Structure 1
Amino acid sequence: MSTTRNTRFPRPAVLVALVAAAVALIGTGTALAATPAAQKFQDQPLVPGTPCTVTARACVDLDSKQSWLLDGGKVVNGPVPVATGDAERPTPIGHSLRVYRKEQLHHSGEYTATNGEPAPMPWAVFFQDGGIAFHEGRTDTPSAGCVRLAKDHAVAWFNHLQIGDQVQVVSAAAVHAERG
């Protein structure tokens, strides 16, 4: 008689170790705020008129619902109005997000338009996992986490931003409070 072991699920000891590691990482969230990357953001000068630093190529302020394009520590476009996520589907905050994909005629894999077709996301510039991107869309209603811009601005963001460029999505109030 042979026995077969079900290798599809990890052993209980492995599960316990994974859960313990996850809990430890969650507990270090505030400790991570003091890492060199976070301190680097704190040490960098802000671009005048924005809550973002000189290393950013695009800046989003979640408080004022505005965005800027930056080059060499100077504003080259903006501020322009944007729509960002709401409490249920927030736009992720980050000081060193990176553009990883651009797609001029993208359609959402998660959301559908009123006609049942995948929702259009023209001029999409992806900068965060989960399909978070700058793209053309309404700026008068909350997004599902993306940063929506009027068409002319979406085209400008698409043309300006390149793969690897740094995007900063911040709360201006939090940035100013942290910096005194």
Structure 2
Amino acid sequence: MRRPTSVQALTELGRVRLSKSFFMRDMLYSEIAQVHGLLNAPDDPDLAIAAGTRLCEELLEPLQAEWGRIAIRSAYRSREVNALGNAKQKAGKAGYNCASNEANAAAHIWDMRDADGCMGAVACVVVPSFRDAHQQPGDWQILARWIDEHLPYSTLHFFPTLWAVNIGWHERPLRRIDSYAEPKGRLVL
């Protein structure tokens, strides 16, 4: 599949089903792209679909089956969208917290292999039913432990707002859990 450059092509890409519950369209929304008028679409749709399918089938579907509906906050980012998010962060402007394109290869940039040539994908998700039931400081660790015991994740990064989590699938999983929520830092299980 070619990079979409028309509404019809983007519509076709969006209709690609990544798993039982998720379509590519679910993964393409970006506030950065919306505000700055950028097309958040992969240069290599086939690679993005392959990585996104693994993320959805192996991580998001089982997470949703256990905890109920999950909300996608951020998932796929084009190189252009991610680079702008990183440039804004480097300039010290709030709200654009993207790592460099190299650091986000095989993470938020699904259609860019990492330095080792590996494929990966990350989505930032919120699990509303979990957040509703677990609102005490540090409760994010309950979800972290469940994921660690049940899913083949590579990386987890938890955030204080709604216990959002960047959940990552990778061909060579790191099995690493970090948090910006209290207690901050790396969680070792």
TM-score class, shorter-chain normalisation, is under 0.3
Higher strand fraction: Structure 1 or Structure 2?
1
Higher helix fraction: Structure 1 or Structure 2?
2
TM-score (norm 1): 0.27
Per chain length, whose mean CA-contact separation is higher, i.e. which structure has more relative contact order (CA < 8 Å, sep 6+)? 1
TM-score (norm 2): 0.26
Q: Is the radius of gyration larger for structure 1 or structure 2?
A: 1
